[in-house]
Each structure stands twice: as structure tokens, then as C-alpha cells.
Structure 1
């Protein structure tokens, strides 16, 4: 056995394969991006050719993957210091940083160009804005500087349904803005619930997440506040007549369930592992909440076109 092959550093430098590049796109996050983008497209009035619709969703997914790769390229050192992210390709040295950077730029550029020429310039412009918002505004500027990073940066993940809607209609109206607002308002309680039980990771690498800077008690109170504010925002599409009763009833029920899980989080002052159980339940439900809410949006849209009534 040679000295090179026995060194710890060389043992970690495993050859990259397609799975490492795929991991750079954050597939689990991308699944939510694809779903909300598809729901925005399907719920929009009018129609789009199936091939163009598929192309629009593919561009949204690829653009999100490109932004995620740029995020991991920029934060490779931070990821290496956190238990939750230490297994990613860059901290494990399965990829060179320049490869991740170039891959991110390629995906981002290709997705925008295809969206512009195949679907429309407005949808492409919004896709550019979403990539820039996540890779630059959130990752490079907000995240390392302010505990409000998730509040302001929530817009990064709120673009997909807006882009999907615009791909069909070619214009920005009140409804897609409200879909954007729902995800924007949902993001703080969703992400802070996660941040509460992984706050030691963020503290270790110096990221000023809310629990690290303001403490668990303040974060829990803010989770409760945002959960209350989420209810009227989620109901707004129904209030303006953009949806029918199916969506209105489901949105109210889901939002009240969200609030019911947020109340034990917001009112607890207990520290330690046992105190994290309500946060973990809220985090898990928050994912179900967003999937269910946007699924009902599409169901409601088809119920209107088919003349269904509640």
C-alpha cells in the first residue's frame, strides 16, 4: 500500500459520478419547486401546449438546480462544518469547487435561454430573478449577515408557481402574486422550525439564524406570529374570487391545522431535546401543508371548469 493511497485526504477524494452532480441540485427541495411550479401552471386560466408546459416545468426545475449548485459552491466550507450538510459532494471532496460552480452556471443559463425561446420572455425574466435571488441575494448577502435572512430570502422559493402561471398567461396578475405570497409567508415558520433543532450547526459555523442570534424563545414566538398571518394570506385567493369553495374550505382547514401545531411551539419555553418535539411535528406538517394546499388549488381549478359544486 502506497503512502498516497493510505492518507486520509486521498481516501476522501472519491471519484465523482452523476449522482454527485445530481446531489448539487438538492433533489428534495427541487421536488417542491417542481410541484408548486406545476400547480401554478395547471391552475392558471387558459391553456398551454403539453410540450411547452413540460418545457416550462423542466426549465423551472433546472434553474432551481443550478441555483442550488451555486449555493453549495459558495457555502462549501460552511457545509463542511455542519453535521447536516457535511456529507454533500463538495465537503466530501468528490467534486472540485470549480466543477460545481460551472455546473451551476450552465444549468442556470441553459434553463433561462430555453424558457425565453420556447415559452416566453416574461417567464424567463422571472426565472432569472429567482436564480439571482437565491444564489446571490439570499446565499451571498442575506444568509451570512442577518437573522432576517429567511424572512427576506423566502422570496427565493416563492417564484415557481408565479413562473408556472406566467408561462400559461403571459402576464402577472393578482392570483400568481398571492401564490408567491403564500410561500413567502410559509417559509419562516417552516424553516425556523427546522433551525430550532439544528441551531448548534448554524452556531458552529457562524450563520446568524434566528435561534442563534435571538434565541429559541424569540424564534418560537415569531413562528407563531407568522403562522397566524399565514391564514389570511392562504385564504386570499378565495377572498378575491380567484378560486372556488373547494380551495377556500381546504385552505382554512389546513391553515388552522398549521396554527394548531404552531401554538405549542410558540408558547413553550422548555429547552432540551424534549422541547424539540413540537418543532419537528410542525416542520413535518409544514411540508404536507404546502403540497396539499397547492394540490387543492389545482383540484379547485378543474372543479370550476367541470362545473363541480360543494
Structure 2
């Protein structure tokens, strides 16, 4: 009996730790950072790769922990978030803040060992997410614009970690993931509209599930596709994809755009949920295609 109780407690602590740092989201961010690194590096340094992975994870974990402290009362109002450790009262604010602070120090320190610019962008990401995006979420749909900045940093961060340089190449990677954030966020804001409403969050551009919001989703899906194809034209320095990869990326983008139009056509929660899943698949596959293109050609 004692063994069972102990394992349950351990599982609960581990689950709460994963939830406070949003482990799955953090790992997707790490994936983006590593993809950016592989695109920028000439010879892979596995030590830097590991440091970037841990630094990126701590960076995102810190942002998420701070976010859940600030929004604990609002999280308690929404079905999606009411079981989060701080909102549910399983974890104290002090414990959560300690995790956030430790993760911030570890994340920035580790990224600093790679180079100063990587640490700077990591710190900017934590600051914008915690101090600007989170407070704005209940005040204006423009919060999505602010949130898209830290959300777009990881792909670019990897290139900066590899080269210690910010130029057209990481700028392009940033632009791709920046534009992508809008249809992705708005799809989530659409299918979770009623739940977000309980917490006072109106994430859609018009604050409503209407045609105008759906049009904005289409517009930013087009911008995402166009930004994703820019490296095929040889105008982004060392960042380049071959015509074959450009065709693949273009087809992926058209698929993404198709589901954006489906949201406009159907205006349903299910269409928005499908678009969200497609958006995640799109950015992941795009990053894989970019990396494979570099190492295969």
C-alpha cells in the first residue's frame, strides 16, 4: 500500500512539473531552435546543440511558469486551464516562482555560454511573453501580435547560436514563424472561444468568431506561405532551399491555406481545430524540409 501511495505522489509531482513548464510546448520550441541551428552551422558542434536544447527548454519553461502565476485566478475560471497546478492550488505561487526564477537564470546562463546574442534574444523572449503579452491578453487582441514575437524567436535563435550573427538569414526564419503564429493562435482562439471568454480573453482579431476574423486567418496564412518560399530565390544570404524543396514547401503551404479557407467556409469549431493541427504539422514539416534540403543537396 505504501508503495502505491508513493508512486502516485511522485507521478503527481512530475505531472505538475510538466504542466507548469508546458513540457510538450517547450519541446516543440526546442525542435525549432535545433532546426535553426542546423541550418546556420557549417560543422555541427554537438555540445552547442545540447546547450541550445537545454537553454531553450529552460527559457520556455520559465515563460510558462511566470504566465501561470500571473493568470492563476483566470486559469481557474476556464475548463482548459482550471486543473493547472497553481490554479488548482496543488502548487504554491512561491514554488512556481522559484521554478520560474531558476529556469530563467539557467536558461539565460546556458544560452550565454553559446554566445551573448543568443542569451540576449532568450532574455527578450522571456520578458515579452511574461511582461507584455500575458498582461495584454485580457485587454486587446493585439496581444497576439506581441505574443508572436517571442513565439517566432526560437527558429531564428538557433541560427544566431550557430553563427553569433543576426542578419537576413535569421530574420527570414523569424518572419516565417512570426506570420505562422497568427493563423495558429487564431485557430486556437476560435475553437476555444467560449472557454477563453470565461477568463476574459478575446484572442480573435475582431474579438468575435466572424467572417472578418476568418479573412485575417487567410491573409496571414498567405503571408506565411510567401515568407516560407523567399529562401528559394537566392536573396536571403546563406539561407537557401532548392527548387524541389520550394515545391514541397509550396504544396504544404497550399494545404495549410486550404484549411484556412475551410474555416472561412464552415465557420465551425471543428474547422478551427483542424486548422490548428494542420498549422502545427506545417511548421514542423517545413523545418524538416529546410534541414534535409541543406544536408542532402
TM-score for the superposition, normalised by structure 1? 0.86
The alignment status of 1:145 with 2:139, answered yes or no, reads yes
Contact 1:44 1:165 in 2 (8 A): yes
Range with bigger deviation, 180-189 or 40-49: 40-49
**How far apart are residue 99 of structure 1 and its match?**
1.1
Structure 2 unaligned residues grouped into runs of 5+? 1-9
Decide which of 127, 133, 146 is 2:122's aligned counterpart: 127
3-state secondary structure, aligned to 1:213:
coil
Q: Deviations over 1:82-102 (max 9, x none)?
A: 001111111221100121112
Q: Deviations over 1:121-175 (max 9, x none)?
A: 11111111111111112112x2122112112321111111211111111101211
Equivalent position of 2:18 in the other structure:
22
- Evaluate the alpha carbon distance shift between residue 31 and residue 15 of structure 1 in structure 2; reply closer, same or farther with a 3 A threshold: closer
Decide which of 27, 39, 43 is 2:39's aligned counterpart: 43
- Aligned equivalents of 1:217 and 1:258: distance in 2? 18
Structure possessing the higher radius of gyration over alpha carbons: 1
- Aligned equivalents of 1:232 and 1:24: distance in 2? 35
3-state secondary structure, aligned to 2:282:
helix
3-state secondary structure, aligned to 1:208:
coil
Equivalent position of 2:283 in the other structure:
290
- Aligned equivalents of 2:208 and 2:155: distance in 1? 32
- Aligned equivalents of 1:152 and 1:220: distance in 2? 20
Equivalent position of 2:103 in the other structure:
107
Structure 2 matches for 1:221-232, cutoff 5 A? Answer: 221-232=215-226
**How far apart are residue 53 of structure 1 and its match?**
1.8
- Aligned equivalents of 1:300 and 1:15: distance in 2? 41
**CA RMSD of the aligned region, Å?**
1.9
**How far apart are residue 252 of structure 1 and its match?**
0.5
Aligned length: 284
Contact 2:33 2:157 in 1 (8 A): yes
Contact 1:67 1:104 in 2 (8 A): yes
Q: Deviations over 1:185-237 (max 9, x none)?
A: 11111111111111111211212322772443322121111112222111112
3-state secondary structure, aligned to 1:17:
helix
Equivalent position of 2:269 in the other structure:
276
The alignment status of 1:166 with 2:160, answered yes or no, reads yes
Structure 1 unaligned residues grouped into runs of 5+? 1-13, 270-274, 305-310
